């Protein structure tokens, strides 16, 4: 996540830097640094801000289960943590999901794929 995107999500959430810092468990100085591009945004912060955004967005397309969108066969579903935890709307939040037949090794690799998926793309659309 880049600085400008972080700031856009904070504004979509209608939060001040202080309020988002409190929600993320970070200092205001850290939030300011993320928005200015002085610090890279850690994976845990990116995940948390995306989770918050997903909960208030209200888009119907965020209500679709990933296994339906991806047309996952039964065997793949049984191996996937999103299916196990009934989290098909939040599959992007869970590490180890078997998207496109492969579990990704880390958050950076995973979120790069997730950002192009129909499950998550509504988060990045303008209101």
Segment 10-48, tens digit of pLDDT: 999 999 999 999 999 999 999 999 999 999 999 999 999
- Answer yes or no: do 29 and 45 share one domain: yes
- Domain match, 44 and 31 both: yes
Kindly state whether residues 8 and 48 are assigned to the same domain.
yes
Q: Are residues 70 and 109 in the same domain?
A: yes
Q: What is the CATH number of the domain that holds 20?
A: 1.10.260.40
Confidence band of 117 (pLDDT split at 50, 70, 90)? confident
pLDDT of residue 98: 85
Q: Identify whether 84 is part of a domain.
A: yes
| Tokens 């209200």 found at | 58
Q: Identify which of 18, 81, 90 has the alpha carbon closest to the alpha carbon of residue 54.
A: 90
pLDDT given for residue 14 in this prediction? 94
Give the β-pairing of 102-103 and 98-99: antiparallel
Owning domain of residue 26: 3-56
> Does residue 50 form part of some domain?
yes
Q: How many domains does the chain have?
A: 2
Please tell me the predicted confidence (pLDDT) of residue 63.
67
pLDDT exceeds 60 at position 55: yes
Q: Per-residue pLDDT tens for 67-104?
A: 988 888 999 889 999 999 999 888 888 888 888 878 88
Does residue 127 lie within any of the structural domains? no
What is the 3-state secondary structure of the chain?
A: CCHHHHHHHHHHCCCCHHHHHHHHCCCHHHHHHHHHCCCCCCHHHHHHHHHHHHHHCCCHHHHCCHHHHCCCCHHHHHHCHHHHCCCCCCHHHCCCCEECCEECCCHHHHHHHHCCCCCCHHHHCCC
Check whether 8 has a pLDDT greater than 90: yes
* Of 89, 85, 32, nearest in space to 57 by CA: 89
């Amino acid at each position: 996540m880049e600085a400008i995107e972080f700031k856009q999500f904070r504004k979509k959430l209608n939060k001040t830097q202080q309020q988002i810092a409190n929600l993320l468990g970070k200092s205001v100085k850290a939030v300011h640094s993320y928005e200015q591009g002085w610090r890279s945004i850690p994976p845990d912060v990116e995940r948390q801000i995306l989770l918050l955004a997903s909960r208030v967005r209200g888009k119907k397309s965020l209500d679709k289960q990933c296994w339906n969108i991806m047309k996952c066969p039964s065997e793949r579903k049984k191996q996937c943590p999103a299916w196990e935890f009934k989290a098909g709307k939040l599959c992007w939040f869970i590490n180890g999901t078997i998207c496109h037949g492969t579990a990704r090794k880390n958050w950076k690799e995973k979120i790069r794929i997730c950002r192009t998926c129909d499950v998550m793309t509504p988060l990045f659309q303008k209101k």
